[in-house]
Amino acid sequence: MLLARKGYRVLLVDKSTFPSDIMSTHYIHLAGVVRLSRWGLLDKVMATGCPPLKTITLHLGGLDLQPPRPADLPWDPIAPRRTVLDNILVEAAVEAGAELRDGFSVQEPTFDGDRVTGIRGRSNGNAVEETAKIVIGADGMRSRVAKSVNAPEYNTRETLSFGYYTYWTNVENTGAHIYFLEEVERGVLIFPTNDGKTCIAVGGAIDDFQEFRSDIESNYLKVISCVEGLLEQVRGGEREKFIGTADQPNFFRKPYGAGWALVGDAGYHRDFITGLGITDAFRDAEYLVEAIDAGFSGREPLDEAMAEYERKRNDIAEPLYEVTLQMASGEEVDPAAFMKFGAAMARMMPAELPALRTK
Ligand SMILES: Cc1cc2nc3c(=O)[nH]c(=O)nc-3n(C[C@H](O)[C@H](O)[C@H](O)COP(=O)(O)OP(=O)(O)OC[C@H]3O[C@@H](n4cnc5c(N)ncnc54)[C@H](O)[C@@H]3O)c2cc1C
């Protein structure tokens, strides 16, 4: 969408067909919501009935904490269903002039020596090849593009946690809640979302995954029962199916090379505990488009602009990564790391915030 809006010819391929769902509890931090606003898409998201999350309460060691918000901002964090959010983003890309081919599975990039020259894939059972000046792998943490170009991985850490979530009716909307339940060594995330439903996730240490999955429903409800009043509410409602994973790798990848780039989870993946993946992907999409435009327009050598993309991404992501991993490992978060996390979150807010605020 961002490249098409700058006038570039964009071919957007995805193996899914839209609207599509993906495994995610889909909380979007303010820095992500502000980007939806500046892209002109926030009204569309809100019009789907996605409730603003007026408060976020952290329940920790007997304390209920509501982190202060920047004053007088007209936005709240949101947690739109991915069926809703992804569809709006795809439609906006098409509206901006991108050609969409969904149901198109990329098998691998094509090469001329070391340089990526396009993609090879399958669409409607047919083999298809397309050429491009740059191939951008926005294809998630198991990125085929990253694998084919052998994108170097660094700052890799072991998988620390697992999570299971589902959607319930009948849960009162009192904003978002994050519980750290020391007595059962589990966390609970509660995010009101579209259609009057509430996404409730339960997570824990990776070593407990097998035991938890041996009886998902009963283990999930046992944890839910530690949150006062929640079990009674969900018992009075209906739920969707349980979705869960222990596939939570933690890594950075070099996000560019000859004829290719990576963005979103393909370039950087972290545990889901801080709910940062979508906000990270939005931020990095802007950085990447800036770099490609600087290079393609001749304002800067492309390689230098792409190195700057990686530097800017890492500069913000590293302190977020550190705290995310400390939280996921169940460690007490180091206060100095937390200060850096807060500063990075603040730096993620766009510089032209005062102008956006009046829109
Ligand atoms: C349990 C869980 C909970 C989470 N909760 C949150 C949360 O609350 N907030 C948050 O911000 N993030 C959360 N995340 C993380 C978030 O979902 C991701 O960070 C985010 O989706 C990354 O977006 P992306 O576009 O980079 O990749 P993805 O959303 O993974 O999208 C990749 C796309 O590439 C397509 N694709 C993949 N391979 C191919 C191929 N070979 N050919 C064609 N198309 C292909 C896929 O169909 C998909 O549409 C959570 C993740 C998990 C697992």
Same domain? 352 vs 268: yes
Residue 54: pLDDT band (50, 70, 90) is very high
pTM of the model: 0.96
Which atom of ligand 1 is nearest to 106's Cα?
42
Mean pLDDT of 11-32: 95
Residue 169 belongs to domain spanning = 161-245
d(CA 307, CA 343): 23
Please state, for a pLDDT cut of 70, what percent of the chain lies above it. Answer: 97
How many Å lie between the centroid of ligand 1 and the Cα of residue 252?
15
Q: Can you give the pLDDT at residue 359?
A: 47
Per-residue pLDDT of 263-297, as tens digits, reads 999 999 999 999 999 999 999 999 999 999 999 99
CATH number, residue 196: 3.30.9.10
Query: Do 263 and 236 fall within a single domain?
Result: no
Domain final residue pick, 212, 245, 278: 245
Q: Give the three-class secondary structure for 220.
A: helix
Nearest alpha-carbon partner for 324 in 292, 258, 287, 279? 279
Domain boundary at 189, 214, 245, which? 245
Q: Are residues 122 and 203 in the same domain?
A: no
Residue 340 lies in a domain: yes
Q: How many domains are there within the chain?
A: 2
Whether 153 and 220 map to the same domain: the answer is: no
Residue 289 Cα to ligand 1 middle (Å) = 19
pLDDT, tens only, 320-342:
999 999 999 988 888 999 899 99
Answer yes or no: is pLDDT of 355 > 80: no
Q: Which of 23, 25, 129 to mutate to test the pocket of ligand 1 (most atoms within 8 A of CB)?
A: 25
Per-residue b or e along 2-22, where b marks 16 or more CB atoms closer than 10 Å to that residue's CB: bbbbbebebebbbeeebeeee
Q: Looking at the predicted structure, is the pLDDT value of residue 18 above 50?
A: yes
Residues near ligand 1 (Cβ within 6 A):
13-16, 22-27, 105-106, 138-140, 144, 163, 245, 264-266, 272, 275-279, 281
Q: What is the pLDDT of residues 247-260, one digit of tens each?
A: 999 999 999 999 99
- Ligand 1 atom nearest to CA at 266: 26
The mean pLDDT value for 22-51 works out to 95
CA proximity to 37, closest of 80, 81, 85, 75: 75
* pLDDT tens-digit map of 109-160: 999 999 999 999 999 899 999 999 999 999 999 999 999 999 999 999 999 9
Instruction: Supply the mean pLDDT for the chain.
Output: 94
- Average pLDDT of the segment spanning 152-180: 96
Out of 224, 245, 266, a domain closes at 245
